[in-house]
Each structure stands twice: as structure tokens, then as C-alpha cells.
Structure 1
Amino acid sequence: MRPTPADPDAWNAYLAEGNATQARKRVAADVLLRDPAGNVLLVNPTYKPGWDLPGGMAEANEAPDDAARRELKEEIGLDVTLHGLLVVDWVPPHGPWDDQIAFIFDGGTLNRDHAVALAPHDKELSEMTFVPPHRASAWLRDRLSRRFEAALAATADGHPRFLHDGRPAAADW
């Protein structure tokens, strides 16, 4: 017989068993940051090839927006106020990786002094630079490039994008 909420200990044990069998998703949380000229910040990670948006992976039980802010603080020493969600992208399994949910948040525009002073703060980044938006896609891997382009479109029209592997999830959204 299945426990009921009338027996809290048995009910919580039952729910914990169900929770243990549920799928887990990896969560990536990046931030689109701009300088006063409208250029976007790209970072060069030391642990994988290619350029990336600033951000990283969420830790267990960490909200995506909290992960984005934590990663920016750790990697570039920046406390950022997020201005909204730009992209949610479901990334299918690839290579050795299970699927993941990737977010891009709007970090707004840094003032000139903050933009000029940015530098890597840990060994995960070798360098960073601001790049004109129309050139940034060429610096990014294909999947991230598509996600980045969707983030730019979302900043232009104020409508977040829901993607599957960097492509619109449904034409009627």
C-alpha cells in the first residue's frame, strides 16, 4: 500500500525514493554583457577549446540565475545584476554528455570603467575581450553561436527564446 501524507515520515520516504529515480539535468548559465559601445564580452576558457560567453555550470540545487552570478564573480570578479532571461535552450545528448538546459541572462551594459577593468580572476579563463555583436558568432562554437544569436534577438524585441539545440523549439511561440 502506498503511503499518504497522513504519515509524514512514510510519505517523505516514498517521495525521496521517487526523487532518486528521476532524471537529472545539467544546467549551464551564461550572461550576455555589453560595453558602452555595444560590444559583447567573450571569454576564452582554459579547460575546453574555443571562446564562450561568461558563465558556467550550476552546482547541485543552485538556481540558474544564482549560478550565473556566482560564475561571473568567481571568473571575472564582477557582481552583476541580471536584467532578465534571454534564452532557454534544451541541448540533446552529445558525445559523452547527457542532455542539459542552457540559460542566457541579460547582464546589461557595463560602464566604461568596469568594462576596461575586467580581467580573468581564476585559472578557468586565459583571456577575455569585447567583440562587436556581428562578429561574435564567428568566435563561438555552432551550438553556442545559435544560442547567442537568439539572445541578441531577445534583447532587440524583449521576448525570451525557447530553443532545442540552438534552434527555435516551435514556430508558433
Structure 2
Amino acid sequence: MRASRELGCLVLVRNPRGDVLLVDPDYMDGLILPGGAAGPNEPPHLAAARHLREETGLTLRLTDVLAVDFTPADRYLERLGLVFDGGTVTTTRLAVPPQHRSGLLGARFVPTPELPDVMAPAQAARVAEALANRSLPLLLHGQRSG
């Protein structure tokens, strides 16, 4: 039997001060990057953009990957997470759907020095690596996406 895997599609968005946009899910402790799993045959950049729009109201074109994070199966599925570069946004208006529909308690920009205080260690490490890296293009069948 093959192991079950999930492709996580996350987005790193910053404001002009360099603060990182995080969402607060009601199903886990700590804040996380916006995003979620790709559906069957859903291109990862489109899945990331869909989740970002659904969770925050932001509509962004995503073409570059900042980090790839493999998480072995433990109590969850084995996961491969792609962190997309959402760039810098100037808006302060976020449209988080009601908790009963989204499972989110809210969303906010967090200063980078505070990330380890509000995120689980693995989540904060993922964001730190993504912030430190240059982006790589996402390729679909050998061609740049978008």
C-alpha cells in the first residue's frame, strides 16, 4: 500500500515594514502561513492562490517558490510543502471568512522577530528559511507557470 501524501501550498506575504501575514486556525496551536492542500491535478501555485484568497481576501499571482519543506508522516499525512513568494502588499484590509466556514480565528501581520513567539518551532523555521532564500521559478511541464 502506498503512503498517503499531501501537497501543501503556502504563501509568504509581507507588508512594507517586512511583517509576515499569518492566519490563526482554530484547529491547532499557533499561527501559520496562509495556504492549504492542493486538490487532485490542481497546480500548486493556483492552489496556494485559492487558499490565500479564501482565507484573507487577497488575490495574488504566484510564480516563485521560496522553500520546499518535507514533513514525514506522524499523526498526519506525509507532506511536501511549497512556500510561494506572495511579495509585498500595501493593503491593511483582510477579509477573513467567519470561523464556522473557514476554521480561522483571524489573520494579521506579525513582525519577523516575533514569529518564534506565535508559531510552532517547525512553522517558524519554515518561514525563516523562506525569508532567507531567493525565489525559484515554479515549472509546470518544464515551463514557467503563470
**TM-score, structure 2 length as denominator?**
0.82
Percent identity over paired residues = 37
Residue in structure 2 matching 1:71, options 51, 62, 68: 51
Rounded to whole Å, the distance in 2 between the matches of 1:31 and 1:153 is 15
Q: CA deviation at 1:52?
A: 0.6
Rounded to whole Å, the distance in 1 between the matches of 2:41 and 2:27 is 24
Aligned counterpart, 1:135: 114
1:149 aligns with 2:128: yes
Cα RMSD after superposing both structures: 1.7
Q: CA deviation at 1:98?
A: 2.7
Aligned counterpart, 1:99: 78
Residue in structure 1 matching 2:24, options 5, 19, 44: 44
The structure that is helix-richer by fraction is 1
Q: Given the superposition, is the C-alpha separation of residues 159 and 69 from structure 1 closer, same or farther in structure 2, using an over 3 Å criterion?
A: closer
The structure that is strand-richer by fraction is 2
Q: CA deviation at 1:119?
A: 3.1
**TM-score, structure 1 length as denominator?**
0.70
Structure 1: give runs of 5+ residues left out of the alignment: 1-20, 161-173
Q: CA deviation at 1:47?
A: 2.4
Q: Is the 8 A contact 1:91 1:99 kept in 2?
A: yes
Q: CA deviation at 1:135?
A: 1.4
SS of the residue 1:65 aligns to: helix
The size of the alignment, in residue pairs, is: 133
Rounded to whole Å, the distance in 2 between the matches of 1:66 and 1:48 is 25
SS of the residue 2:105 aligns to: strand
Q: Is the 8 A contact 2:4 2:78 kept in 1?
A: no
SS of the residue 2:42 aligns to: coil
Q: CA deviation at 1:122?
A: 4.2
Runs of 4+ aligned residues of structure 1 deviating over 3 Å after TM superposition are: 21-24
SS of the residue 1:117 aligns to: coil
Structure showing greater radius of gyration is 1
AA at the equivalent of 1:141: A
